[in-house]
């Protein structure tokens, strides 16, 4: 039996999943995370399948991405019973204009992806460091890059451009959109489990620490709330969402450097910045603090506004799908979003929403909760490429 490994590298963490390559769909055996990359990294391993739910924590000492991949391999080896890792799939945040589907990694592709670092300076270098480490660690396995931007590459021009001088568009200053692996999963799930919606107008709200919305027409993305970077659109845990670019000019005139502005926009804004308390929605919902309530008010308001915008670009809406940590787990936030959307045909099924049901609307427009699974999209891509070899 062969094993597929998926890797998802952030700046200070590395998430992975281990799948057995079986048909029709890979089966997840283990998932894990190396946290606190740096001097005191530790690995958390979660078993699925036979030992479902069992958790282990392993201190691995100082580790960068390279050492973390090796530590993962060391800890996995005894569990894999001599099964071979034949394919490794990587989440790569940016595929630029050219990459509209997963591709096999080789030195030439790595070089082309390195050239995209200026488009995603905070994420792309970590993705590529991790890919390099995996190539060294698993020299006989195929390595597949799966892009967060690829699912959105078919956007019509009006949804791909900014109204800047057109030379910037040619230079790659475009609305790329992100969370593409999540939307890919949701689109495939709709096709499989809700064939009645396969050619429908569907809006997907991915509400996690990062948050965005996608307009699906016949299962294809025609619009994303995220744009050039993963900052635009909805407010997020610590990111600002939509912002008047005049604010940036003002901050620059006030003497803020690009590093300072970057920190404000990526790390200090969103729910955390508005509440002054935390980026964690669970804590905000449990808090009596007026600023926590206002942060949630803004969050819900902007999501509702974006549902309206997505319905407008689709020319209607047949279904709204919630996913991501907040979308999947918070009945209160879902209820508040749907509360003022009756004009689009939504009517909340209160009990279904509270009881964790998938279908939570009794109105003529569907509202569904579908847990997303980005790792599975990567594993499927590796599987299809290894079988095409």
DSSP letter string, 192-261:
HH-GGGTTSEEEEEEESSSEEEEEEETTEEEEES--SSTTSSS--SS---S--HHHHHHHHHTT--HHHH
CB of 221 to ligand ADP, least distance (A): 19
CB 181 within 8 A of CB 377: yes
**Count of residues that bind ligand ADP according to CB under 6 A:** 13
Write the binding mask 327 to 356 for ligand ADP: x where contact by CB under 6 A, - elsewhere. --xx--------------------------
CB of 328 to ligand ADP, least distance (A): 8
CB of 82 to ligand ADP, least distance (A): 33
| Residue whose CB is less far from ligand ADP, 219 or 331 | 331
- Among the listed residues 96, 102, 208, 223, the single contact to ligand ADP using CB under 6 A: 208
From the list 304, 302, 306, the residue with the least C-alpha distance to 340 is 304
CA-derived radius of gyration, the chain: 21
| Residue whose CB is less far from ligand ADP, 10 or 87 | 10
User: For the chain, how many residues are written?
Assistant: 389
Question: Contact region for ligand ADP (CB under 6 A) — 21-29, 137-145, 158-166, 207-215?
Answer: 207-215
Phi, psi of 90 (to 5 degrees): -120, 135
Helix (H, G, I), strand (E, B) or coil at 336: helix
Write the binding mask 307 to 326 for ligand ADP: x where contact by CB under 6 A, - elsewhere. -----------------xxx
Restricting to residues 253-292, name those near ligand ADP by CB under 6 A. Answer: 280-282, 285
CB 241 within 8 A of CB 233: yes
Angle at 349 between CA 343 and CA 352, to 5 degrees: 150
- Among the listed residues 26, 95, 96, 210, the single contact to ligand ADP using CB under 6 A: 210
CB of 89 to ligand ADP, least distance (A): 17
H-helix or E-strand spanning residue 274: helix 270-275
Alpha carbons 44 and 301: distance in angstroms, whole number? 36
- Among the listed residues 2, 66, 209, 262, the single contact to ligand ADP using CB under 6 A: 209
Alpha carbons 195 and 12: distance in angstroms, whole number? 40
| Residue whose CB is less far from ligand ADP, 132 or 294 | 294
CA atoms within 13 A on the CB side of 69: 25
Write the binding mask 107 to 136 for ligand ADP: x where contact by CB under 6 A, - elsewhere. ------------------------------
| Residue whose CB is less far from ligand ADP, 33 or 86 | 33
148 labelled catalytic:
yes
CB of 199 to ligand ADP, least distance (A): 28
| Chain centre to alpha carbon of residue 222 | 17
Find the catalytic residue in 25, 136, 148, 339. Answer: 148
Alpha carbons 106 and 112: distance in angstroms, whole number? 10
CB of 367 to ligand ADP, least distance (A): 17
| Residue whose CB is less far from ligand ADP, 330 or 386 | 330
10 Å CB burial of residue 69 (0-12, 13-18, 19+) is buried
Q: How is residue 332 written in tokens?
A: 């209160």
Write the binding mask 155 to 194 for ligand ADP: x where contact by CB under 6 A, - elsewhere. ----------------------------------------
CB 153 within 8 A of CB 133: no
> Interface with ligand ADP includes 202 (CB under 6 A)?
no
Alpha carbons 351 and 215: distance in angstroms, whole number? 27
| Residue whose CB is less far from ligand ADP, 32 or 87 | 32
| Chain centre to alpha carbon of residue 120 | 14
CB of 310 to ligand ADP, least distance (A): 20
| Residue whose CB is less far from ligand ADP, 102 or 210 | 210
| Residue whose CB is less far from ligand ADP, 162 or 266 | 266
CB of 353 to ligand ADP, least distance (A): 13
Contacting positions for ligand ADP (CB under 6 A)? 208-210, 237, 280-282, 285, 324-326, 329-330
Q: Which residues are identified as catalytic?
A: 148
């Amino acid at each position: 039996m062969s094993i597929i490994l998926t890797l998802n590298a952030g700046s200070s963490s590395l998430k992975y999943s281990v799948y057995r390559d079986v048909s029709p769909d890979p089966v997840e055996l283990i998932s894990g995370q190396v946290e606190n990359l740096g001097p005191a990294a530790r690995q958390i391993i979660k078993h699925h399948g036979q030992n479902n739910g069992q958790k282990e924590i392993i201190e691995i000492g100082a580790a960068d991405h390279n050492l973390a991949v090796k530590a993962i391999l060391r800890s996995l080896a005894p569990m894999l019973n001599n099964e071979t890792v034949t394919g490794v799939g990587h989440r790569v945040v940016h595929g630029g204009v050219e990459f509209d589907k997963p591709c096999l990694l080789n030195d030439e592709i790595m070089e082309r992806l390195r050239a995209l670092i200026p488009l995603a300076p905070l994420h792309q270098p970590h993705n590529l460091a991790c890919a390099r480490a995996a190539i060294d660690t698993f020299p006989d396995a195929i390595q597949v890059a799966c892009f967060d931007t690829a699912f959105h590459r078919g956007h019509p021009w009006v949804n791909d451009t900014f109204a800047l001088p057109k030379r910037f568009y040619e230079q790659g200053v475009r609305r790329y959109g992100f969370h593409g692996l999540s939307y890919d999963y949701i689109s495939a799930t709709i096709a499989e489990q809700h064939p009645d919606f396969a050619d429908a107008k569907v809006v997907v709200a991915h509400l996690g620490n990062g948050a965005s919305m996608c307009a699906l027409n016949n299962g294809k993305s025609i619009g994303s709330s995220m744009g050039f970077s993963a900052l635009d659109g909805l407010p997020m845990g610590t990111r600002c969402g939509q912002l008047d670019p005049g604010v940036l000019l003002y901050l620059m005139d006030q003497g803020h450097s690009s590093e300072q502005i970057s920190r404000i926009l990526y790390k200090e804004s969103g729910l955390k910045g508005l509440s002054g308390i935390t980026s964690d929605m669970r804590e905000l919902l449990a808090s009596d603090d007026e600023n926590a309530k206002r942060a949630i008010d803004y969050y819900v308001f902007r999501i509702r506004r974006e549902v309206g915008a997505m319905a407008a670009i689709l020319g209607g809406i047949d279904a709204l799908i919630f996913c991501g940590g907040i979308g999947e787990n918070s009945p209160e936030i879902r209820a508040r979003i749907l509360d003022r959307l009756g004009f689009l045909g939504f009517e909340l099924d209160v009990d279904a929403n509270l009881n964790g049901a998938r279908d939570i609307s009794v109105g003529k427009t569907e509202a569904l909760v579908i847990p997303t699974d980005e790792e599975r999209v990567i594993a499927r891509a590796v599987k299809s490429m290894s079988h095409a070899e």
